[in-house]
Copies of this chain bind each other. A is one copy, B any other.
């Protein structure tokens, strides 16, 4: 195994976020499930957007947010995801490159527009996402550069890749190349409804060794094992994957390896403004700790710190230097 050019390569749906602060009534009147990610088609996107208040836009996408967080912490990071070469796709490509991430995926030149998520943030800070995949549908196995994957210490994949039609093939291809090169493969389960759609396939990925590390929040964990018993679900999770990381919002996180379980508290915050990106940034901090060999507890603390930054402002990408925040907290960065 040669030394890695990248610490982490992320693969995901490249999605532009259109964020608005709204009230609970908006969710109810549009039949939205609070806290979830719903896939929408173009006509539903138009109907939601028509009724939405003035918005703020910024680049998003779950794995992309994680990768940007990693670069912000000082990791060498790369991303694979599909936008179209339209105005929004150009904003997207700018933002991820400007964050210091290697991003070489060829944009689509025809077909649907760059994907967008219409994100409703309620007064309690919870976000409800309505995602039009658009060009993200066009991610193909041919977008995976074998040399780049083989040169990355960790390949990080989002469960959302099961939604577009060909992206799962890209996922499996990347995981295979990574393992052949002696690298590690990480997966985030993304969303409890996503787990509900692909439970069997996600369990297969874990049980047949396609993925080595899996991130889940409590809702995703409970959905995966169809139980409301946390301890029972965690026990199964540990049996199914080499390293299981469960985020529990204000209760912190649990890192469970075959040998040991480490609980790490959440990072204190002043005010929760918008949970968009909380899990993504937790994964960024955790993976950063992991590639720096900081140990599970410090990795968990780095995850908690990065998540705490992102939930205290609108949007899913860091607005300050996580590296400096980590240093100020005495964490390795």
Contact = CB atoms under 8 A, between A and B. Distances in A.
Contacts of A319: 21, 314
A316 to B, nearest CB: 11
Contacts of A99: 53-54
A88 interface: yes
Contacts of A52: 94, 98
A146 interface: no
A9 interface: no
Given A21-B319, A56-B57, A59-B54, A113 B87 contact: yes
Nearest to A101: B54
Interface string A60-92: 000000001000000000000000001110010
Interface extent on A, as a size class?
20 to 34
Q: Report the copy number of this chain in the oligomer.
A: 2
A57 B54 contact: no
A55 interface: yes
Contact of A54 (B18, B56, B68): B68
A259 B95 CA distance: 53
Interface in A31-58: 49, 52-58
A271 to B, nearest CB: 13
B87 A317 contact: no
Contact of A87 (B53, B59, B87, B96): B87
A289 interface: no
Contacts of A87: 86-88, 113
Interface string A170-187: 000000000000000000
Find the residue from A49, A55, A57, A99 having the highest chain B CB count within 10 A.
Answer: A57
A65 to B, nearest CB: 11
A56 B91 contact: no
Contacts of A56: 56-58, 315
Given A53-B98, A54-B94, 8 more contacts: A21-B319, A52-B98, A53-B99, A54-B58, A55-B98, A56-B56, A57-B91, A87-B88
Interface of A: 18, 21, 49, 52-59, 68, 86-88, 91, 94-96, 98-99, 113, 314-315, 317, 319
10 contacts: A18-B91, A52-B94, A54-B58, A54-B68, A54-B94, A54-B96, A55-B58, A55-B94, A56-B57, A314-B319
